Chain A
Amino acid sequence: EAQVTQNPRYLITVTGKKLTVTCSQNMNHEYMSWYRQDPGLGLRQIYYSMNVEVTDKGDVPEGYKVSRKEKRNFPLILESPSPNQTSLYFCASSFISGYPEFFGPGTRLTVL
């Protein structure tokens, strides 16, 4: 089954404790991206990747890092999480650049 998976689905952590949210797709897509969703603000793009080793900033990259060492994986790294990064995070992928065709199920992160 074609899908985008994210782990964990839910995470409660404390300020400053490094964490990684994984994203994996099984469709051999080149384009992958990360978004956060907050009430009243909607979805905002954090980072995107056009292909392996090619990443670029979206609208709200501060406080986040990404890497794309393999085509299927695009982890989101929070080196020192802060409460303002409490949010619902989505990963997406597609064959077409700039088109979030397939979304992961979301990761709900709470930073205390």
Chain B
Amino acid sequence: KNEVEQSPQNLTAQEGEFITINCSYSVGISALHWLQQHPGGGIVSLFMLSSGKKKHGRLIATINIQEKHSSLHITASHPRDSAVYICAVNTGNQFYFGTGTSLTVIP
């Protein structure tokens, strides 16, 4: 069973395009997280959300608790945004992760 589903699995975009990555979950959550994993393997935490919307630079994350759905948007995409984006939810102190969306931004 997959508590967290992401779509699409792979995404290729032209530089400058607006990108959306989706995350749906099936469990009750305390918070939802978006992570970025660089091609070298390092993981960076982007957002923690429990409601509404957060923005950091060109990244925007939204969550709809009633629909159990979150989206990560990247505006004016750039090749340096190429990475795997991972959605995770925590139910108290335990975590469940999506399998990630691999994004490639072509110059």
Contact = CB atoms under 8 A, between A and B. Distances in A.
Nearest to B98: A42
Interface in B27-51: 30-31, 33, 35, 41-45, 48
Interface stretch (B13-21, B58-66, B71-79, B88-96): B88-96
Interface in A66-112: 88, 90, 92, 96-103, 105-106
A100 B45 contact: yes
A50 B94 CA distance: 11
Nearest to A48: B93
A46 to B, nearest CB: 10
A98 B42 contact: no
Contacts of A98: 30-31, 90, 92-95
Given A42-B86, A42-B99, A106-B41, A100 B33 contact: yes
Contact residues of B: prevailing secondary structure: strand
Contacts, number: 62
A36 B93 CA distance: 16
A4 B33 CA distance: 19
A99 B41 contact: no
A100 B42 contact: no
Contacts of A59: 94-96
Contact of A103 (B30, B44, B48): B44
B25 interface: no
Contacts of B48: 96, 99, 101
B97 A43 contact: yes
Interface of B: 30-31, 33, 35, 41-45, 48, 86, 88, 90, 92-100
27 contacts: A31-B93, A42-B86, A42-B97, A42-B98, A42-B100, A43-B88, A43-B97, A44-B97, A45-B95, A48-B94, A50-B93, A56-B93, A58-B95, A59-B96, A92-B43, A97-B93, A98-B31, A98-B90, A98-B92, A99-B31, A99-B48, A100-B33, A100-B88, A101-B48, A102-B45, A103-B43, A103-B45
